[in-house]
Amino acid sequence: MYKVIEEGKAKLKVPKESKISKELPVFYNPVMEFNRTSSVLLLKSIENNKMILGLPLGGSGVRAARFLKELPKSKIKELWINDINKEAVKIIKNNLKLNKVKAHVVNNDANMFILESKGFDYIDIDPFGSPNVFLDSAVKRLGRDGILAVTATDTGCLAGSFVNACKRKYWAVPQKNETMHENGLRILIRKVQLIGADHDKALTPIYSYFKDHYYRIFFRCKKGKKKVDKIIKKHGMFNDAGPLWLGQLWDKKVAARVAKLGNDKFLDIINRESKIPAVGFYNIPKLVKRYRLNFLKQDEIIKRIRKKGYKAEITHFAPNSLRSNIEEEKLIKMMKS
Ligand SMILES: C[S@@+](CC[C@H](N)C(=O)[O-])C[C@H]1O[C@@H](n2cnc3c(N)ncnc32)[C@H](O)[C@@H]1O
């Protein structure tokens, strides 16, 4: 049974069931509204126009409907949406009609859909769990200056709950500690970049985040062996986790535009964070416990760090935590004094 809801500027027919699971006749998860909103904002924030958009794992068609309703006309040349589930394809067609928008709808396996296409300027890999099995085909068909959007919901594996699974699937060692989600995101970035390297495509994250139960990354694709070599030079260990991506998680300009357009607290935190080129962050309660320090409020610590001439902002990755370019030793000394 279905009901009609609204998300962003789209109207959608979605399953009535309140329990969200893979077993739904057609998959629609309201919790992922922010994931879709961030995609709209990202596409609005970059300079690419007349894009051919590919949504290989289409679900209910909500993302497609929102792109077509919310993005300026100049952005989209064609939109292709696919799902392996016949019922999903029926609902996608229905939802496109409901919103009076048009797209090419395909019922195929995602990899076949991507490989049989003429290529895309934007591919959105939004799977159940790991994106791994769709990465190779997506990278192959991603055009010059194209954007690869990747969601991963297997955060347990990437953040250290299943070490062997992470080694097998992401070729890296995770750590279950205070920075586990930043490490997990960076491990995933490196994995995607290594698939890119197979095809001489350099994939640089321009926007990424951790939220609820998932990681989300938008990569910009450039072609060339030398560019790939530069990416790989930024792979390494962080404490005992990795190898992982040690480069930037955000393009500062993109983060600023997304925050301005989005007008949302979470996006604003990321925008501020994007200005600090540091890997990892400090978790205040952990530092206090480890070094037997007096507890100071986060705001007070940030104020003191800035007074010393360093940068400091709260991080979106964890509560009571801050990103700063101050060395740990100096921070401890400062908190002791
Ligand atoms: C997480 S949902 C996608 C949600 C959708 N992108 C959204 O924003 O609401 C994953 C979708 O992938 C589809 N799917 C799973 N395996 C697939 C495959 N191998 N090829 C194509 N579609 C597949 C499922 O039927 C499901 O609709």
Quote the CA–CA distance of 305 and 299 in Å, as a whole number. 10
Q: What is the CATH number of domain 280-336?
A: 3.30.56.70
Query: What pTM does this model have?
Result: 0.97
Q: Which ligand 1 atom is the nearest neighbour of the CA of 35? A: 8
∠264-270-272 over CA atoms, to 5°? 100
From the CA of 128, how far away is ligand 1's center (Å)? Answer: 7
- 85 Cβ below 6 A of ligand 1: yes
Q: Do domains 2-272 and 280-336 have the same CATH topology?
A: no
What's the token pair of residue 118? 């003429």
Q: How far apart are CA 197 and CA 166, in angstroms?
A: 20
Whether ligand 1 lies within 6 angstroms of the CB of 137 is answered as no
Q: Where are the domains of the chain?
A: 2-272, 280-336
| Residue 60 CA, distance from chain mean position | 20
Q: What class does CATH assign to 2-272?
A: alpha beta
Residue nearest to atom 10 of ligand 1 (CA): 127
pLDDT tens per residue, the chain (337 residues)? Answer: 899 999 999 999 999 887 888 888 899 999 999 999 999 999 999 999 999 999 999 999 999 999 999 999 999 999 999 999 999 999 999 999 999 999 999 999 999 999 999 999 999 999 999 999 999 999 999 999 999 999 999 999 999 999 999 999 999 999 999 999 999 999 999 999 999 999 999 999 999 999 999 999 999 999 999 999 999 999 999 999 999 999 999 999 999 999 999 999 999 999 999 999 999 999 999 999 999 998 889 999 999 999 999 999 999 999 999 999 999 999 999 998 8
Residue 60 CB less than 6 A away from ligand 1? yes
Determine which residue's CA is closest to atom 7 belonging to ligand 1.
59
Dihedral-angle region of residue 242 (phi above 0 means left; psi in -120 to 50 means alpha; beta otherwise): left
Q: At what angle do helices 298-307 and 328-336 cross, to 10 degrees?
A: 110
